[in-house]
Structure formats: C-alpha cells, structure tokens
Structure 1
Amino acid sequence: MDAPLDPLLVDVLQVLRLERLEPDLFRGESRDPGHHRVFGGQVLGQALVAAYATLEGRPVHSLHAYFLRAGDPDHPIIYQVDRSRDGGSFSSRRVVALQHGKQIFHMSASFQLKEQGTDSHAPMPLVAAPEALGDTNEAIEQFERRNPSRTIPWSRLRRAFEFRPTIPLDSLAGNEEPCLMIWFRAVDRLPPDPVLQHCLLAYVSDYYLLSVATLRLPPGTNRDHLQIASVDHAMWFHRPAALDDWLLYVLHSPNASGSRGLSQGGIYSRDGHLVASTAQEGLMRHRPEGAG
C-alpha cells in the first residue's frame, strides 16, 4: 500500500481542484501564504485549471497575465472563462478572476494541438547536482550567520516544493547581472497527468521571480519601507515536465527602472531540456517612512 502524500502537497492539489458553477464559471479555494495576500502562483495555477476545463486535447503553450489587486485569502476566488476562439490547431481563452465583485487578475492563454517541427533550445548551465546542495532554509541560516546585519527576501515557511540554490546566497547581491539558479521539485510523488503538471508548473513558476529583481536594489536598501508586488507574469511551455523530479530554474534580472524590476527565467529538466520560459515585471517602490 502506498504511503499517504505529504499534506502540504495534498493541500496544493486541493487548491487546484475548482468547483464548476456553470460551464464557464468556477470557484477556487484560497490560502494565506503568511502575509495575508493570496500567492500569485495560486491564482495562475487556478486560472489555468479553469481554462483547461473548457477544452480537450490541446496543451497550453503560453499564458500572459496581470495581477490587478491583492487577493483575499479568507474568501474564495471566482474564475470566469471566455472561449475566445477555437481554430483548426489553436484555441484561445481569457480568464478573469473576481473577488468581492472586483477583478483581481486576468489572463490570456493559448493552446495548440501537438505538432512536429524544429526542436532546439539554449543549453542548460553547468551546475552542481541537487543532491550535493542544501535547501533554502539551510542556505538562509548560513547566510545570516555570515551576515548578521543583512536580511534576504525569502521565507523559511515549509512549502509543497523544495528548493536548493546552486550558489551561496552571499554571492547573489551586487552582481552586475543579478541572477539565481535553483533546483526545485514537489515534496512528494505526483500523478502523471500532463494538465496537472502544467498547472503546477504555472503555480511554482511564481516563486523567486520577483526576488531576483530585488537584487538590483542598492546594497543596504531598507526593505521595511519598500512596496513590492508582482504586476504581470508571462510563461511559455516548451516540453513536458515531471515536477516530482528535479528541475533547474535559471533566473536573471536584466533591468530595473520606473519603480519596476524585470525578471526572466528558464526552467530545465534534469536531463538538460528547456521545459518552460518565464518573464515577470514587479513593483519595487520606495515608500516614505511612516507611510501605511
């Protein structure tokens, strides 16, 4: 008899099971990740679940989303799907997420029948294997022992995915081109369902994207007076992925301007294939001391 799944992963799978209210209307549960705002990856994953529920046989190849308002973790989210187009090989869907009568998020996603064509991608960087690395909690503890006066933007909360950075966190800040490479995988086994894998990949893709953009902030920036929030999120799905095996997230931030930071990422399978690409712009606004 199989052992029960890790409860944190069970909870994420539950969050991705939407209640169908009408053919194109869905309701999803919310969770509080620790700062009383819904995690952006949760909304991305749920919106993709809703879009997938309105078509068959066409895997997602891209999505483009905007975060409009902070989500309330104490209330469910309603997802309304617009079946924009079903063509000969492509389908387009637009999903709007609503809470308290207002839009908090909208996403456009495109789906395509599987086709054969050129198969080429940028190579995966050479990094240490995940088995040789410690997880983020260990890396944070080591960083803070060496740098007692400095803080970093990553949480110690245990999650449904484990993360293992490839270099010490001390090495991240101050680089000419801020970057982060981190292995990740689900904490337990997953069903071999390609739709679920895509929705989980959208969910986990929101981790660390905005964090790498904050590395462009000047050293010594007081984060107590910094407003940080995701503005948009784009994702392209290139190849199948198994999220209960190790994947490498290669992240860099090419720009910060106008109180916004831009992050880009590539997700590689353990055997070196590019699974997905991501991009996100986030708000990084300095607030006057004493501002709410």
Structure 2
Amino acid sequence: MDALTPLLELLELEQLEVNLFRGIGHGGETSRRVFGGQVVAQALAAAYRTVEDRACHSLHSYFLRAGDPSIPILYEVDQARDGGSFTTRRVVAIQKGRQIFNLAASFHVAEEGLHHHHQMPDVPAPEDLPSREELRERMVHLVPKERRADFLRPSPVDVRLVGDYNHLSPKPASDANQAWFRLIRPVPENPVFHHCLLTYASDMLLLGSAMRPHGESWFTGRTMTASLDHAMWFHGTLNFSDWHLYAMDSPWSGGARGFNRGSIYARDGRLVASTAQEGLMRPIAPKA
C-alpha cells in the first residue's frame, strides 16, 4: 500500500443517515493533528454526495478547532438551496460533540460564457526539479530527532519546489512561492474525485508564502502557525494525476496573521483553480 491509498479511502465517506457522513482514517501530512486539507476535502466530498449533475465552483471554510487523528469525524450536510442554476450546501465537521470546521460550497450547472485567464508563470519543468522526498532525505540530519518521522512521512502528493528557499535555515525572501504538484500515481478520471484531491493538496504549501519575507518556516520554532480559513474556486475540469503549477504569493501579513493566495495551472497552461487563505503567524517569545 502506497501513501495515496489512505487518502483515497478517506474520501470514501460512510453514510450514516440522510445528510450525515463519517470520515474514518488519517491523511499523510502529519501525525500530530488532522491535516487541514483532509477536513476540507472530506467536507467537500460529503457535500458532493448530496448534489447531482453540478460541479463545485467555490467553497469557503473555517478551521475552528484542531482535529484529533485518532477518532472519526462526522460531517453533517445542510442542503441549503437547490436552484435552477446554482446549488448551495453547508457542512459542519464534528468531533467529541463540538464543531471543528465548517464549510459553505456552491455548485453550478455547466454553462457557456466569456472566458479569459492570467498566463501561467514561466518556471522550470517539474522533471528538472528534485522531489520533496529527495530534498528532505538530504536535510533530515538537521531536523530534531523527535520531528524526523513527520519530516520523512510519505505523502500522497508529489511536490517539486521551484527555487531554493531553505525551510530549515530560512533567510528573508520574496513572498512569491511556486511548486509543481500531482498525485504520486494516476487515479481514475472522476471529476468529483479530482476536485476533492486537489482541495486536499491546496492546503499543503499556501501558508508558507506569508512566512518567506520574514525568513521563517514551520521548522524554525520561532512562530506558531495554523490555517484559520480556506477558500477555493474551481474554474474547470482537471486531472490531478498530471502535473499542476501552484503559483502563490502573500500580499500582506500583520497582527499575527498572514494572508495568502494561489493560482493553480494545469500543465497546458489553463488556470483550473484559485485559492486564498489567512493563517495564524504568532511569534513565540523566547524562554527566559
């Protein structure tokens, strides 16, 4: 079993009752708490289970409490509206009787209309860049022993970072943050499934954009970080088995928060999704 299999199983939610689903399992990004992208992806999967013949075009969500990876997550769907062109769903994720996350998603029938999009940035091809696993193997000796297992934890997503930002010993750099990513192996071309899989991966790199201008990362121990919200817009069909470029930036940070946004391009240059996220960036006071 490879690292992708558990992610695919996470999206096969168990239906307990009308509008009530249970997510069992834990994704591959961290062992300390439920990865935010997992909760967003499962909530979107739950919403999709109540919608027919319409694709999600936008979602907006808030992380309320850290998820416990040792127990299931319940997803309760509110079928808020079924209109002639648009469908709206609200989803609440629950653990131990408390909300840990909520999501609102809108679905749209296929329509023709005017079209334009920004061009994909010109960056090195993914084949010319080392994988994240290769980079981490080279640097693992610099990571504290208690964090090495998470540092080397296999991921269902193949990531190729653009540029040479050193996350273990970072220096102030541009907020422009780019990476190629795709699933580690092909999966069937189910449009709903690929929306959920891209949603999972879209939370992997985004918050790091706001940390770059300050020479910070998750590994320095100087800043407490957490995703506060996550928004996503889908602009067309996609196949996440193929390479996509995630072009991110951070136009602002302040008040112990950082704002980040991203554009996701298919290998052929089509803009297929956009993201935005505000995250906690709270400086940790040195111990006396």
Common fold: TM-score over 0.5: yes
Indicate whether 1:230 and 2:230 are aligned.
no
1:270 aligned residue: 267
128-137 or 47-56, larger mean C-alpha shift: 128-137
Deviation at 1:217, TM superposition (A): 2.7
Indicate whether 1:199 and 2:192 are aligned.
no
Q: Distance in 2 between matches of 1:250 and 1:155?
A: 23
1:77 aligned residue: 73
Q: Distance in 2 between matches of 1:258 and 1:35?
A: 29
1:107 aligned residue: 103
Q: What is the 5 A alignment of 1:1-292?
A: 7-31=2-26, 33-140=29-136, 155-170=151-166, 173-175=171-173, 177-218=174-215, 223-290=220-287
User: Helix, strand or coil for the counterpart of 2:207?
Assistant: helix
181-190 or 281-290, larger mean C-alpha shift: 281-290
User: Helix, strand or coil for the counterpart of 1:215?
Assistant: helix
Q: Distance in 1 between matches of 2:100 and 2:237?
A: 30
Indicate how the Cα distance of structure 1 residues 15 and 253 shifts in structure 2: closer, same or farther if over 3 A, else same. same
Deviations 1:142-173 (A, max 9, x none): 6799xx79xxxx94322011101122224984
- The unaligned stretches of length 5 or more in structure 1 are 1-5
Indicate how the Cα distance of structure 1 residues 144 and 178 shifts in structure 2: closer, same or farther if over 3 A, else same. farther
Indicate how the Cα distance of structure 1 residues 127 and 220 shifts in structure 2: closer, same or farther if over 3 A, else same. closer
Deviation at 1:263, TM superposition (A): 0.8
TM-score for both structures, normalised by structure 1 = 0.89
Deviations 1:112-147 (A, max 9, x none): 0000001210000011111111112334566799xx
The answer (yes or no) to whether the contact 2:218–2:225 under 8 Å persists in 1 is no
Q: Distance in 1 between matches of 2:218 and 2:66?
A: 24
Q: Distance in 2 between matches of 1:142 and 1:215?
A: 21
User: Helix, strand or coil for the counterpart of 1:7?
Assistant: coil
Q: Distance in 2 between matches of 1:244 and 1:173?
A: 33
Q: Distance in 2 between matches of 1:228 and 1:50?
A: 27
For 1:258, give the aligned amino acid.
Answer: G
Q: Distance in 2 between matches of 1:179 and 1:9?
A: 28
Deviations 1:177-207 (A, max 9, x none): 4121111111111111000000111111101
- The unaligned stretches of length 5 or more in structure 2 are 144-149
Deviation at 1:83, TM superposition (A): 0.6
Q: Distance in 1 between matches of 2:88 and 2:218?
A: 42
The answer (yes or no) to whether the contact 1:140–1:169 under 8 Å persists in 2 is no
TM-score for both structures, normalised by structure 2 = 0.90
User: Helix, strand or coil for the counterpart of 2:122?
Assistant: coil
For 1:182, give the aligned amino acid.
Answer: A
1:3 aligned residue: none
For 2:253, give the aligned amino acid.
Answer: A
Cα RMSD of the aligned pairs, angstroms, is: 2.5
2:146 aligned residue: none
Deviation at 1:34, TM superposition (A): 3.0
The answer (yes or no) to whether the contact 1:231–1:283 under 8 Å persists in 2 is yes
Identity between Structure 1 and Structure 2 (%): 46
Alignment coverage as a number of residue pairs: 280
The answer (yes or no) to whether the contact 2:55–2:108 under 8 Å persists in 1 is yes
